[in-house]
């Protein structure tokens, strides 16, 4: 009997569940799991969580504290189901505040520790803004691992590697979305997918220059994008696409292979160079801002829910 594609993918890539759905995590047995404000909101709205959510909300000191407490509470449950990393995001409201991002990250790690989850299991997520990257650089020095998300171009990837972050999450599908909107009649299938091309170029650059930062493709629109990146360090995949892979048989070819190219140290990007590169890239600038706004919109919904529970 032919092996399903999810099983084959797990032999060449670390599979990560992009969800806060505990049942989905149990079903697909990923190594890691990632969450974000949107996924935490979805999980928090589960009626079976209402009693626990109310308890968490009422014992928190304020709404910010309640938001972090809920994320850690769900993350702690996830940590009991996966052997690897659990990614928990710092508030999107702090995407341009380095110092407060660092403070909140330490508070999240302290909450996990109080729940018996060591900081070696947690990746603190922050947006790949200049300020977010600087916060991650400091957190890594403090022994706190980081996951830089909402990453759309090479300049962000280079700055993250320069900062020594543990992992980056380049957003494949959202890159494709932007290009489809600009060129609705273009062929973006297979290797023509600009999101796939972006991850491949970052992967080759990291491996060719000896960077230890993990490349984890994210935000997939279809299984074709996933198959095109088979062999990437990690891929974080929604339950729907995990299900498609698990139900599909046929050969899966490894597409990304570490390069044997000569390794050398690249000059680090300055802030001016980083900001100029972002300014020159309309797609990355637009999708980064849009991503922060969307995460914040869902966080506000969670804040409203928690405020209601606190007042009852």
Active-site residue list: 125
Closest residue by Cα to residue 79 from 45, 31, 36, 11? 31
Angle at 283 between CA 266 and CA 279, to 5 degrees: 60
Those residues whose C-beta lies under 8 Å from the C-beta of residue 290, and which sit 6 or more positions away, are: none
- C-alpha to C-alpha distance for 39 and 32, rounded to whole angstroms: 15
Read off the tokens for 37: 């404000």
Name the DSSP class of 267.
P
First to last CA, the chain: 56
Match 């405020």 to its residue by tokens: 307
Q: What is the 3 state secondary structure string of 104-119?
A: HHHHHHHHHHHCCCCH
Q: What's the chain's length in residues?
A: 312
CA torsion through residues 45, 51, 53, 58, sign? positive
Count of alpha carbons within 13 Å of 298, Cβ hemisphere only? Answer: 19
- Which residues lie across from 170 on neighbouring strands? 151
- C-alpha to C-alpha distance for 248 and 241, rounded to whole angstroms: 11
- C-alpha to C-alpha distance for 302 and 308, rounded to whole angstroms: 10
What region does 219 belong to: left with phi over 0, alpha with psi -120 to 50, or beta?
left
């Amino acid at each position: 009997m032919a092996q399903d594609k999810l099983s084959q993918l797990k032999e060449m890539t670390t599979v990560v569940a992009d969800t806060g759905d505990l049942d989905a995590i149990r079903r697909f047995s990923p190594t890691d799991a990632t969450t974000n404000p949107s996924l935490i909101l979805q999980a928090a709205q589960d009626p079976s969580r209402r009693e626990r959510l109310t308890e968490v909300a009422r014992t928190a000191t304020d709404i910010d504290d309640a938001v972090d407490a809920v994320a850690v509470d769900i993350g702690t449950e996830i940590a009991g189901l996966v052997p690897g990393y659990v990614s928990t995001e710092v508030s999107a409201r702090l995407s341009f505040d380095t110092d407060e991002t660092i403070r909140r990250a330490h508070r999240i790690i302290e909450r996990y520790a109080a729940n018996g989850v060591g900081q070696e299991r947690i990746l603190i997520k922050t947006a790949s803004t200049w300020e977010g990257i600087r916060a991650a650089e400091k957190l890594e020095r403090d022994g706190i691992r980081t996951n830089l998300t909402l990453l759309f171009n090479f300049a962000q990837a280079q700055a993250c590697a320069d900062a020594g972050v543990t992992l980056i999450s380049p957003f494949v599908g959202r890159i494709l979305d932007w290009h489809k909107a600009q060129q609705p009649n273009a062929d973006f299938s297979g290797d023509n997918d600009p999101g796939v091309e972006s991850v491949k170029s970052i992967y080759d650059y990291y491996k060719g220059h000896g960077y230890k930062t993990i490349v984890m493709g994210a935000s997939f629109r279809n299984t074709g994008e996933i198959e095109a990146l088979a062999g990437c360090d990690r891929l974080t995949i929604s339950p729907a696409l995990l299900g498609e892979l698990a139900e599909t048989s046929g050969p899966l070819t490894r597409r990304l292979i570490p390069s044997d190219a000569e390794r050398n140290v690249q000059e680090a990007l300055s802030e001016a160079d980083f900001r100029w590169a972002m300014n020159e890239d309309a797609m990355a600038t637009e999708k980064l801002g849009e991503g922060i706004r969307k995460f914040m919109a869902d966080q506000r919904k969670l804040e409203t829910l928690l405020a209601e529970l606190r007042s009852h």
